[in-house]
Structure 1
Amino acid sequence: MKNIWFINEYDLPPKFSKFRRRYDMCKYLIKKNKYNLNIICSSFMHGTGGKHAYSKKEKIEYQGVNVYILKGISYVGNMKRIFSMLIFMMKIIFFKFPKEEKPDLIYASSPHLFAALGALIQAKRNKCKFVLEVRDLWPETWVQIGVIKKGGIIHKFFLFLEKYLYKKADKIVYLDPFFDYMISIGIDKDKIIYLSNGVDLEEFDKKQNLEVHLDKNKFNVTYTGAIGVANNLEPLIELAKLVSDKNIIFNIIGYGPLKKSLMLKVENEQLQNIKFYDPIEKDKVPEVLRQSDALILSVLPIELYQYGASFNKLFEYWASSKPILFFGNIKPDYIKESNSGISVTTNSVNDLKNACLDLYNMSEIDREELGKNGRKYVENNFDWKNLANQVDKIFDELLQGEIKNV
């Protein structure tokens, strides 16, 4: 049995986190009886405004996976978030692996690179393989949403760190099929492997109690997930105003730094056709999606998405067999490619309104057809039951010594 260690600050068990990728991956890897799987994460629940899943350092077992939970630091705001990242990195650097579980491979996942740096240091110390999973292109994401200044000292530092980690990794797992950005900074294409986000359909299809009761007398358009700058929910408020004379209601379920300001705007505008709900546990989300008439996803109009994009909620939306209203210009245009809804790429709220009304006025049979197309698309391409085989192949290649150590 090979010892695999996954490192990601946000990889708490699904009960406490919106991120399921690691646990869906591990669920199918563990069935191969080849790996002893371990996860290191922080106790802090990202996107909750300061809550912790555990009050102290813990080791638990989740579905056969050993989960090491390090005491994290609460944060609100970018400076405190960076401090939290640095503390987590230091805890990774000084983490003592059990002697019987010394790593054969360390698999670090962004979004932030400090944890990956700590993981690389551990990989060198333990003379094991190092895989870097890139979920977001740092620091370009922060530059394009205005968090840091392009060309500034912080930007240059992150560029150096990013390139250093890419160079030192045995393999880079990238969530998007386009490698243009990495190739442009000198990374060997043969080192990069495309492994999309996905969904565990076996888990998704399990019936759960409905925690959010939608108004079934209305046409329900639902959004689930984080409510922050990157989620670009401001256009949804404008859309609600433009279609306020229709029997349409917008449901926003989740939490994030912009939730209060958006709720205040809705209140000031006296909009009656948009409702906010508290976040719900990840396994309760599918039932809400299935109760909706259509699902909506909006992204920022930034150049970075031309390098590719992979949004967790999009796979859940497809799995729910509901039509999708997508607002944003990304590469590839998944909605068009899968014929699972309507995508608006013009950054025009008026065009978004027209697309929303097209779905609203569409026959139920046609909407069902779009939903079925999405379900078929995710079944064929993005079920973790199949995606995990790609991870197994990566591990086999690395652990058989076909690639040099870091």
Structure 2
Amino acid sequence: MNIWLIQSGEPLPINDTVRKMRTALLADKLIAKGHSVVWWTSAFDHIKKKWIYTKDTEVRHSHNLTFVALKGTGYKSNISLMRFIDHRIIAWKFSRMTARMAKPDFIIASMPPHDFAYQAVIYAKRNNIPVLVDIRDPWPDIFLEFLPLAFRKIAQLFLFNEFSMIKKIMRSADGLIAVTQNFLQWGLNYSGREKSPDDRIFPLGYQHPPSENMNEVIEKHRLLLSKLQGKFIVLFIGTISSSYHNPYILLQVAKQLSAFNNIHFLIAGDGTGELYEKIVSESKKLDNISLSGWLDRDEIEFWLQKSAVGICPATKEVHLPTNKSYAYFSAGLPVISAFQGDLKALIEKYKIGFYYAPNNAEELAMHIKKLYEDKVLYQDMSKNATNVFNKFFDANVIYEEFANHIEQMAVKNNVL
């Protein structure tokens, strides 16, 4: 089959150092099954906030994989009018460019952004092409959480067209895919129907990269590795920004646990803006916290294997999944998280870490101290984390099943 994947927020795997995420992992499985993939995306790197291409660009990456990157406006902040405009332009360009492209046999449209997914679903229905919608975040509902309660009703009226688009997407899709049960139910609520066998949950998962570049990683991080040798490393992986999952709380906790010479905090990531500069500046005053800068996939894997605990901080009540937790679990790291929803339930059910209330530095410090001091508890939680990863979050298994589901849907719709 010729399959279109619609996803504009993930890094493109244009070289071997890029950590493959959901769309890239699914593309690999589909290509391995003999299908060809066209990945419609943005010319703007959502994570690094930099241009990948300076104009609309079509790239034949390999025999069965083509990137079609559409240029919008770019944006500096994830929550901004410019991001909204950027996504709307890309969706409009997609609707115009599809006329000159060979029609696909199947489409998987991920959201956000919802306007891109909307245009993909409209195109699919117009051309009698089966389409699955892959729900990553509940847009635009999630934006209401950033507003005071008094303004949410007004915002819902202002965003009436956006909510109408969501309803159209969910009701038109041949099946809904989601990364969590909560997200699937959210989509079903908009669809106005009950769950069917065509609706499935496929978590984000994590894939261990090949290890042939580890000698280069060791050399690059030689000084930091020497400093942290034998330490109980508390790890945060992620972009440093002022969003709800920023790691500033780790500086507060590092101060509280400064008497524990063997506990060391590692913030793995980079960023821009006032918060990033503040973290860089204040971390220099602390002996028990280090910043590694941006890490590629091999470097992430290296520090996962060297660390003891993974942290998922949050500054407010958040019910979203975080792919960092799956990376932590893959290395057998107990996770201390301020996320609500599925992650909190998972941690508590399988005893693979602790939940702490958002912004509660004292509680976070207490959990870190407990894992550091109680070796039996730590070993039990580490073993549990590994078991949970192998059972639920191994990307090789998840995306093989996802690709199988697509083929089953294709057979059902007489396109395979």
TM-score (norm 2): 0.84
Worse-matched range after superposition: 115-124 or 331-340: 331-340
2:80 is the counterpart of 1:73 = no
**Counterpart pick for 1:189 among 194, 197, 209:** 194
What amino acid sits opposite 1:286 in the alignment? Answer: E
- CA drift at 1:336: 2.7
- Kept in 2, the 8 Å contact 1:199–1:382? The answer is yes
* CA-to-aligned-CA distance 1:330-382 (integer Å, 9 cap, x gap): 3352223333333325763221111011122232x653443332222212222
2:405 is the counterpart of 1:394 = yes
What amino acid sits opposite 2:69 in the alignment? Answer: I
- Kept in 2, the 8 Å contact 1:263–1:276? The answer is no
- Kept in 2, the 8 Å contact 1:134–1:174? The answer is yes
What amino acid sits opposite 1:301 in the alignment? Answer: K
Alpha-carbon distance in structure 2 between the residues aligned to 1:249 and 1:154: 47
Structure 2's unaligned 5+ residue stretches are: none
Compared CA separation, residues 109 and 183, structure 1 to 2 (3 A): closer
- What SS class does the counterpart of residue 394 from structure 1 fall into? helix
- Kept in 1, the 8 Å contact 2:258–2:288? The answer is yes
Alpha-carbon distance in structure 2 between the residues aligned to 1:4 and 1:31: 13
Compared CA separation, residues 129 and 161, structure 1 to 2 (3 A): same
- CA drift at 1:327: 2.6
Alpha-carbon distance in structure 2 between the residues aligned to 1:342 and 1:163: 36
Compared CA separation, residues 182 and 54, structure 1 to 2 (3 A): closer
Equivalent residue for 1:107? 108
- What SS class does the counterpart of residue 223 from structure 1 fall into? strand
1:26-65 residue pairs with structure 2 within 5 A? Answer: 26-33=27-34, 35-49=35-49, 51-56=50-55, 57-62=57-62, 64-65=64-65
Alpha-carbon distance in structure 1 between the residues aligned to 2:328 and 2:372: 17
Equivalent residue for 1:133? 134
Alpha-carbon distance in structure 2 between the residues aligned to 1:12 and 1:265: 25
Alpha-carbon distance in structure 2 between the residues aligned to 1:127 and 1:244: 63
- Kept in 2, the 8 Å contact 1:301–1:329? The answer is no
Alpha-carbon distance in structure 1 between the residues aligned to 2:36 and 2:61: 12
Compared CA separation, residues 313 and 114, structure 1 to 2 (3 A): same
- What SS class does the counterpart of residue 91 from structure 2 fall into? helix
Instruction: Answer 1 or 2: higher relative contact order, Cα 8 Å, separation at least 6.
Output: 1
- What SS class does the counterpart of residue 28 from structure 1 fall into? helix
Equivalent residue for 2:238? 225
- What SS class does the counterpart of residue 244 from structure 2 fall into? helix
1:254-269 residue pairs with structure 2 within 5 A? Answer: 254-256=269-271, 260-264=274-278, 267=281
What amino acid sits opposite 1:80 in the alignment? Answer: M
- CA drift at 1:257: 5.1
Question: Which consecutive aligned stretches of 4+ in structure 1 deviate over 6 angstroms post-superposition?
Answer: none
- CA drift at 1:97: 6.5
Q: How many residues align?
A: 393
Alpha-carbon distance in structure 1 between the residues aligned to 2:118 and 2:303: 38
TM-score (norm 1): 0.86
Alpha-carbon distance in structure 1 between the residues aligned to 2:372 and 2:181: 33
RMSD: 2.9
Compared CA separation, residues 97 and 250, structure 1 to 2 (3 A): farther
- CA drift at 1:103: 0.8
- Kept in 2, the 8 Å contact 1:130–1:171? The answer is yes
**Counterpart pick for 1:245 among 259, 271, 274:** 259
1:155-194 residue pairs with structure 2 within 5 A? Answer: 155-178=159-182, 179-185=184-190, 187-191=192-196, 192-194=199-201
- Kept in 2, the 8 Å contact 1:321–1:371? The answer is yes
Alpha-carbon distance in structure 1 between the residues aligned to 2:109 and 2:303: 32
- CA drift at 1:279: 1.4
What amino acid sits opposite 1:274 in the alignment? Answer: I
Alpha-carbon distance in structure 2 between the residues aligned to 1:63 and 1:298: 41
Compared CA separation, residues 115 and 340, structure 1 to 2 (3 A): same
1:1-400 residue pairs with structure 2 within 5 A? Answer: 2-14=1-13, 15=15, 20-33=21-34, 35-49=35-49, 51-56=50-55, 57-62=57-62, 64-77=64-77, 78-96=80-98, 101-146=102-147, 149-151=151-153, 152=155, 153-178=157-182, 179-185=184-190, 187-191=192-196, 192-201=199-208, 203=209, 208=214, 209-210=216-217, 211-212=220-221, 213-214=224-225, 215-217=227-229, 218-228=231-241, 229-247=243-261, 248-256=263-271, 260-264=274-278, 267=281, 270-302=285-317, 305=319, 309-332=320-343, 333-345=345-357, 348-363=360-375, 367-400=378-411
- Kept in 2, the 8 Å contact 1:11–1:39? The answer is no
Alpha-carbon distance in structure 1 between the residues aligned to 2:353 and 2:158: 40
- CA drift at 1:383: 1.8
Taking every aligned residue pair, what percent have the same amino acid on both sides? Answer: 21
- What SS class does the counterpart of residue 388 from structure 2 fall into? helix
- Kept in 1, the 8 Å contact 2:314–2:358? The answer is no
- CA drift at 1:287: 0.8
Compared CA separation, residues 156 and 17, structure 1 to 2 (3 A): farther
